[in-house]
Structure formats: C-alpha cells, structure tokens
Amino acid sequence: MRVWAFPWIYPYDRPGMKYSGIFVHRQYKGLIECGADLTVIIPVPWHPPYPLSQLHNEWKRYKELDFPNQREYDGIKVYYPRIANMRPSRFVKKPYTERYIESIVNFFKNHNIKLDPATDIFYSQWLPGSALVQLAAHKLGVKSAVSGIGDDIIVWPHDSKEAFCTFEKLLLVADLRIVNADYLGKEMNKLTGRNLNYHVIYFGIDHAVFKPATTENIKAIRKEYNIPDNKVIVLTIGSALKRKGWLDLFDALKEVKKENDNFLLIGCYGEPSDIDIVAEVETRGLTSYFINVGEIKPEALSGLYNTADIFCLPSHWEGLATVISEAMASGLPVITTDMCGHPEIIENNVTGVLIPAKQPVMLSKELLVLINSKEKRDYLGKNARDFIVDKFGSYIDNAAQLYKIMAALLLKK
C-alpha cells in the first residue's frame, strides 16, 4: 500500500515549526513500520526569486520560509509542489481550489508516478485542507481518507456558512473518516445532523521514549536546565494561545503562591501566539517562579517531562492534546480540563485531575493539593503511566489499526 500523506502542519526547522505536527509524523512512522510506503506532500504557494519576492507580502513570507522542492525528515521523503500564485490577483486566472488540485496532479505527472486505485490512497489531516486533497484524489481516481484533529471540527465549521457547507460535503463524500478522539466523531455527526461512520484512531505514544526517569537522570536533566532540586516543578507545553489556558494557569499560580511558594513553572511554547508569555508572567509577580524554555526540538521533549513533578494544560478546547498523553506516559500527574477528548483517557483523581475550563480558582486548589502531596502525585503518575502502556497504545499499535482500515478500504470496489 502506498500512502500519500498531506499534513496541514509538519515539523520544519524554522521558529515555531520544529514541533509542529510531530504527532502526525509519529503516526506516519507507525504506518511505515506496519508496511506502508509513505510519502509526504505539502503543496505551498509559489514565489519568485529574490528580490522580486519582496514585492508582495505573501511572496515575501514564503521566501522567508524557504521550503525546498523536496527534503527528508527522519527518514520520510517530503515534497513541496508549488501552487500557481501570480500577483496582483488580476493575473490569477484560476480559483485557488483549482490551482491547488493542479499542483498535486502536476506533482505525479512530473515525477512519472502512476497511481493505482488498488494500492494508492491519499491521507490528509486537518479538514479545511482535506477538502482540497480529497478533490485531487478523486480526480486522480484514488480513494481518500480524511482525519479530523480538533479545531477543524470544533471551530472551523462555525466560521461561515461556506465553511460549514465545505465541511459537510467533505464528510459526506469521504471514503474514510478518521478522528483522534471519539468526542470529535460525535461532534461531527451532531453538526451535520447525520450518523456518519467514523473510526477513532488515537495518535498513540512511544512509551519506550516517554517514560519515567531514574532519580540520577532527573538530577542530571534538572542541572542542564538550571532547575533546583528542592522545588516542585509544574510543566506546561503548548502554543502561546489564550485557548491553551496560559492565563488561567498564571492566575491560579498567583493564588497558589500565597499558600505555598515552593514551586517553579516551566513553560515550553512556540508559534502561533496571541499572548506575550513573559509580560503576563511579570504582571502576576511570577517572574522568579517561571523558567522560560520557549520552543525546543522534539527529541528534547522526553527529557523536559522528566524535569517535572506535575503537568498542567488548562486548555479551553482541544481534540485530544498529545502533550497530555506524553506526560502521562512519562509518569506525571496531569491536571487538565474536562473538555472534548480529555475524559476519554483521564479518569478523575485516578489517572489525572479534570477541572472545568476557565476556572483558575478551582485550578489553584487542585494545583495546591498536588504541590503539597507527593503521595498523590506518585499515585496519579503511576496510574497514568499504566493506562498509557496497557490501554491507550503506542503510536505503532494505533497506526496498525489505521493501516488495517486503509487496506480494507482499498479492497472495496
């Protein structure tokens, strides 16, 4: 089986993009280990060479990103076919949808690749882009699997009437519908008023990498980040967005400090952003309680989890945040919101702590309990690790489910 993967976000060595879509990449690696011949294709708008690229903001932005025609990331070939993109707009003779599809069609033509509907499948993540990829797949005579991850089901269909119509049409004609949390599938059907078949495929975790560390390793990693041994470390990871709950966490820790100031918060984040993390920390008098690591490379993440005693992500909505399952696999007690897919993997006060969204006062109380009780931290962390290993599955386990579903689809006439 040849899988042509079209991710909307994918790791790239540029600020804000190094960790972007790493959960998707791990799933691709799992599909390959299951036997798939997988290639990543990411159509990007064309831009002229410098200095002409400076004549239009979009040209300038894509010139700065400097996507190559092709590259290799962790053993996977990644191609960037160009979408026709003349400026000013009066020179653009075709709508964006047509130009996007044309870029994909031309990719296969230019590389002399003949697609076979019995062996080839298009697989796209993030539903707005999936609509275009699906059109290209059907034009080329192959089946299309589409995957909903989070905002593309929770937020995007509500943006406009046009967005909803695209969303509904996409799901109706999709050959295979995948979601990474059952909540998203139910929400999909609620929005469309239908009972569409879907498959829940969790991204899974490499729990051989994300795992508890020995006391000596923890001390070594903390020394690397200049973290004192006598503090309780709270870790949060996510884009610097209000919806990730950063401000709720800062407000909560401001209250925690009044009762117990023996903690430090580590913040790991990248683009996109709609808040100034450093300024918000300073406003609440938490500067000396905050270690700002910014964005780090994916391979350093497992070590970062091992520096912590508690993981907290008070997000307002998610599909199912990968960082939560990574923290659980690392043996950390997790505090997060009872939103969307989180209750599917967290049993309150057994494998983690669930609180309502946008409730910093309640968050402060739960944080204080964990900061004060190593016994409860250990209890939740052990249960969390056991759940991930025994029930949630590794990225290979869950990719094997996806591979099986795709293979069955290709057998259908």
Buried b (16+ CB within 10 A) or exposed e, 192-219: beeeeebbbbbbbbbbeebbebeeeebe
End-to-end CA distance of the chain: 16
Integer-rounded Cα Rg, in Å, for the chain is 22
Mean pLDDT of 49-55: 91
Which pLDDT band holds residue 244 (cuts at 50, 70, 90)?
A: very high
- Closest of 313, 120, 332, 296 to residue 224, by C-alpha: 296
186 φ/ψ angles, rounded to the nearest 5 degrees:
-65, -40
CA distance 370 to 213: 20
Distance of CA 348 to the CA centre of its chain: 23
Q: What integer pLDDT is reported at residue 14 of this predicted model?
A: 86
- Is the pLDDT reported for residue 68 higher than 80? yes
Mean pLDDT of 23-35: 95
Which pLDDT band holds residue 404 (cuts at 50, 70, 90)?
A: very high
Domain 215-392 CATH (choose: 3.40.50.2300, 3.40.50.150, 3.40.50.2000, 3.40.50.1820)? 3.40.50.2000
Q: Is 21 left (phi over 0), alpha (psi -120 to 50) or beta?
A: left
The proportion of the chain whose per-residue pLDDT surpasses 90, expressed as a percent, equals 84
**37 three-state secondary structure:** strand
CA distance 352 to 384: 7
- Is the pLDDT reported for residue 71 higher than 80? yes
- Is the pLDDT reported for residue 413 higher than 80? no
CA distance 280 to 67: 34
Query: Which range, of 32-46, 149-163, 181-195, 334-348, averages the lowest pLDDT?
Result: 149-163
- Cα–Cα distances (Å) from 261 to 72, 89, 297, 304, 346, in that order, read 46, 57, 30, 22, 28
Query: What CATH architecture does domain 2-204+395-411 belong to?
Result: 3-Layer(aba) Sandwich (3.40)
Q: What pLDDT, in 10s, does the model give residues 260-294?
A: 999 999 999 987 789 999 999 999 999 999 999 98
Q: What pLDDT, in 10s, does the model give residues 109-120?
A: 999 999 999 999
CA distance 398 to 180: 10
CA distance 252 to 268: 18
**53 three-state secondary structure:** helix
Under 8 Å between Cβ of 332 and 301: no
| Angle CA 323–239–164, to nearest 5 | 95
Q: What integer pLDDT is reported at residue 128 of this predicted model?
A: 78
Token match 């002229």: residue?
48
Question: Parallel, antiparallel, or unpaired: how do β-strands 70-73 and 44-45 relate?
Answer: unpaired
Q: Where are the beta strands (DSSP E) in 61-182?
A: 70-73, 76-79, 82-83, 120-125, 143-148, 176-179
Neighbouring C-beta atoms of residue 413, cutoff 10 Å: 4
- Is the pLDDT reported for residue 91 higher than 80? no
Per CATH, 2-204+395-411 and 215-392 having the same topology is answered yes
Comparison of pLDDT for 147 and 14, the residue scoring more: 147
Domain definitions of the chain by residue range: 2-204+395-411, 215-392
Q: Which two tokens stand for residue 362?
A: 């309640």
